[in-house]
Structure formats: structure tokens, C-alpha cells
Amino acid sequence: MVNNAFIERINNLNRNSFNALTGALTSFDMSPDIDIFFWDNEDLSIVDECLNKYNKVVVGFSFFTTNILQAYHTLVAIREKHGNNVICVAGGPHPTGEPKSMLDLGFDYVFVGEGEELINEFFFCLNGGDDISKIKGIYSKTSSGEYIYQPRDTIVDLNKFYPFSDKYKKFGHIEITRGCPFACNFCQTTRIFGCSVRHRNVDFMRELIQILKKNNRQKALRFITPNAFAYGSPDGRVVDLNAIHALLDMIRVEMPGCDIFLGSFPSEVRPEHVTNESMALLASYVKNNNIIMGAQTGSQRLLDISHRGHTVEDIYRAAEISVRFKKKPNIDFIFGLPGETYDDILKTIRVMQDLIKMGAQIHAHTFMPLPQTPFADKSNGRVDSAIKTAIKKYINNGIVYGDWIEQEKISQKIAYYLKTKDISDLE
């Protein structure tokens, strides 16, 4: 008889992460003996029911910095009704960056970084009554308030874990590459997953596709990767067209008629990796009519400060090549980056206007400080009036789109919170 339950607190932002965790917990014949439940509403009844049936109940949270408040409100509701009878664990981008403050909020354990191995070790320890605080990579806290943590010295091999669960029929986008060598100063990706890039190899991808076919999920495939043109690369900096071709060709053979989406949401490409050769290969296989790429700013000075690793000229060249291959460039810009001057703003406006004339769309963001990044202690992003004036005429027709207005408000709250660690600053 199964004694313990794992309830995954699901929303649209963390669904793929929990699919991967569910897959990791059901990838082996010797997986932990638990039942998994999926909670995607505000009703606490699923927690009540599990407490009546299981010896121990674990609720798992995964969230970004922008979603701390929602996670906290759910945590408070659980504690008010059930006290410490429910084990609440947190993982994902924000808990990885701020593990101690998450313990202080009331979570019992915080998972740092990659979760596939950690979640298995956690439940093996829980089921066996062993000391969870000894697991490397999990933060905990003693009754006297001392933090317990041992850093993990291994990285996850993506070819050992399924990114979805056949048992629970939880399918979604497939992560094909993890890790990023560029370590942009505003981004958490490298801090969570490291600089070492890893890939799900073609043979393992073929195995995954057989599972999808068995479940009649052959219509479309979307992939998660920080850089679609990094697939198969030994370091993430050079493009291996043969590896990309092998992956795409295998999918076409194994799933004829499947619509392949790569280089569009939820993946993207780096501008310097967009070449005639890489786009010709991509265009011959993918369904997406657009390519998402990060420019972030039109100022070379700010690109260098942000540690982007590409040039303004790379952005222009990538946009021109994308248009030539009939893939609309959707180009990310971040307004209000740390150190931004009026001259930087004017350069960004000019570059955006040039790109729009070339046929690009602009995905606009406002800078938000994120924990664990070199920009974590910087001031919140502010969108200059010159930017607002310049993009105003493009908004109604969708040439410029995004949540930059709301992000400007959120950025201010996050900046205060990261300094004070007072959750009320996010209200």
C-alpha cells in the first residue's frame, strides 16, 4: 500500500517543470512508491482528501520571482488549515535564488537547481524515514533556526529522465538542451542549470517519440531550449548543424506529418547563430513562421555590460537572414537595463525602428532584478518617456507587444522585496 502522496501545485507557468518532475518520478521500475496528484485551482479539498488517505502529504511549489506572492498565499492557506501536517517544498527559479528566505516564509524544504535527481532522493528518504537534510542540494532549517545545506556536485543527465509521464498522461514541451555558457547578468538560467550544456540525444528522443505515438500525440512538437541552434553543441557557443539535422530528420521519419516548432516559443535563438546555413536547415523542417531571438538593447555598451556576448551588427544580420527565409523575427528588448543612459535609449529606439522596417516584431520587456544574478541588487527598471513615445504608434497593430507596462510596476516591488525580504512589499 502506498503511504505517501505528492501534490503538485500547477499553473500555466510551471506546468512543463512539473511534467518533468512527474516524468522523473516515473522513469524507473525502482521509482519511489508514491501517488501523485495535480492541483490547479484554489480549492484545498485535494489536500484534505490526501491527508485522510496517506501517512505523509507533500505539496510541491515551483515559481518565478514574479509569482512569489501567489505561492505564499497558498502556503499560508495550507498552514492555517493544517499546520505542519503537510510538508511544503519549493523549487524553481526564485527558490533556487533565495532558498533561505523561502524557508523563512514557511516552506519545509527548498530544492536548489535541477530537480530530477533531488525529487527522487527526497521521496526515497521520506518513504524510508531517513534524514532529508543530508541530501545535497536541498535546503532545510533546524528548530533553532540554523540553515542546513550541502551543495550538489553533480549535474543531471537528460538522457536518464523522461520529460513527461506516460503513467499519469502528463505531456508537454520537450526540453532538448539545458545549461547556458553565456551567463547574461540579468538572467537566472546559467545560475540554475550551470554553464555546461547537455542535450537529449537522438536515440533517447526517438524513445520519447515512441511514447508520444503510443498516446496519439503526433500532431505537433515544441521544444524547450535556451538556444535552438545550440542543440548538440559541445559548449553551446558553436553550432553543430549535423546534430540539429539528425534530430529534425529523425522526427520527420518517426512522426511523418508532425508539425515541428523550433526557434519559436518556448525556445529561441541567439542572433550570432542565425546564419544562411542554420536558417536553411531550420526552414526545411519547422512549421513556425517566426523566430524568437534576444537583442535586449540597441546599445553595444549595454550589451557588453550585460555580458550578452553578441553585437548590434549580429542583431541586424540575424533579422535580415530570418526575413529572407520567411521567418518573421520576433526580437526581445529589455527597457531600463542597469546603467542605461539617454544615449543608450536613443540607440535602442533607432535599432528597433530599423528592425521594424525590415519586417520584425518587437517583444518589449522591462528590466526586473532577479535573485542570484549580478543585477540582483540593481534598481528596478524604468521605461523612459522617449521609449514610450517611440513605440506608441506600433502597439495597436501588434508590431510592438509585451507586458512591459505591468512589468515596470512589478519590477519596483521586486526590487524592494529583494532588499527587505519583506513579503508585504509585493502586495
Considering the domain architecture, whether residues 316 and 257 belong to the same structural domain is answered as no
Considering the domain architecture, whether residues 264 and 295 belong to the same structural domain is answered as no
Residue ranges making up the domain that contains 142: 4-148
Q: What does the pLDDT look like over 106-160, one tens digit per residue?
A: 999 999 999 999 999 999 999 999 999 999 999 999 999 999 999 999 999 999 9
Considering the domain architecture, whether residues 294 and 427 belong to the same structural domain is answered as yes
Last residue of a domain, one of 148, 165, 198: 148
pTM here is: 0.94
Please state the rounded mean pLDDT for residues 253-271.
Answer: 96
- In a domain, residue 333? The reply is yes
* Mean pLDDT over each residue of the chain, to the nearest integer: 96
- In a domain, residue 154? The reply is no
| Residue 395 C-alpha from the chain's centroid | 27
Question: Which parts of 156-263 fold into alpha helices (H)?
Answer: 189-193, 202-214, 241-254
Last residue of a domain, one of 286, 301, 331: 286
- In a domain, residue 155? The reply is no
- In a domain, residue 219? The reply is yes
The percent of residues above 90 in pLDDT, for the chain, comes to 97
Q: What is the number of domains present in the chain?
A: 3
Strands 138-141 and 109-111, by their bridges, are antiparallel
pLDDT of 302 over the 70 cut: yes
Q: What does the pLDDT look like over 306-365, one tens digit per residue?
A: 999 999 999 999 999 999 999 999 999 999 999 999 999 999 999 999 999 999 999 999
Considering the domain architecture, whether residues 304 and 391 belong to the same structural domain is answered as yes
Q: Whose grid coordinates read 516515473?
A: 26
Q: Cβ neighbours of residue 60 under 8 Å, at least 6 residues apart?
A: 6, 7, 8, 9, 18, 21, 89, 90, 91
CA–CA distance, 92 with 20 (Å, rounded to integer): 12
Considering the domain architecture, whether residues 139 and 271 belong to the same structural domain is answered as no
pLDDT of 218 over the 90 cut: no
CA–CA distance, 393 with 400 (Å, rounded to integer): 9
Considering the domain architecture, whether residues 219 and 265 belong to the same structural domain is answered as yes
Report the pLDDT value the prediction gives residue 1, as an integer from 0 to 100.
59
Report the pLDDT value the prediction gives residue 361, as an integer from 0 to 100.
98
Report the pLDDT value the prediction gives residue 2, as an integer from 0 to 100.
75
pLDDT of 30 over the 80 cut: no
Q: How many CB atoms lie within 10 A of CB 422?
A: 11
| Contact call for residues 232 and 256 (beta carbons, < 8 A) | no
Last residue of a domain, one of 257, 286, 315: 286
Please state the rounded mean pLDDT for residues 29-50.
Answer: 92
Containing H/E element for 33? Answer: none
Considering the domain architecture, whether residues 144 and 195 belong to the same structural domain is answered as no
- Residue 294 — left, alpha, or beta (φ > 0 → left; ψ -120 to 50 → alpha)? beta
Q: What does the pLDDT look like over 65-78, one tens digit per residue?
A: 999 999 999 999 99
- In a domain, residue 40? The reply is yes
The percent of residues above 70 in pLDDT, for the chain, comes to 100
| Residue 284 C-alpha from the chain's centroid | 27
- In a domain, residue 165? The reply is no
Considering the domain architecture, whether residues 327 and 373 belong to the same structural domain is answered as yes
Q: What does the pLDDT look like over 92-102, one tens digit per residue?
A: 999 999 999 99
pLDDT of 43 over the 90 cut: yes
Considering the domain architecture, whether residues 28 and 77 belong to the same structural domain is answered as yes
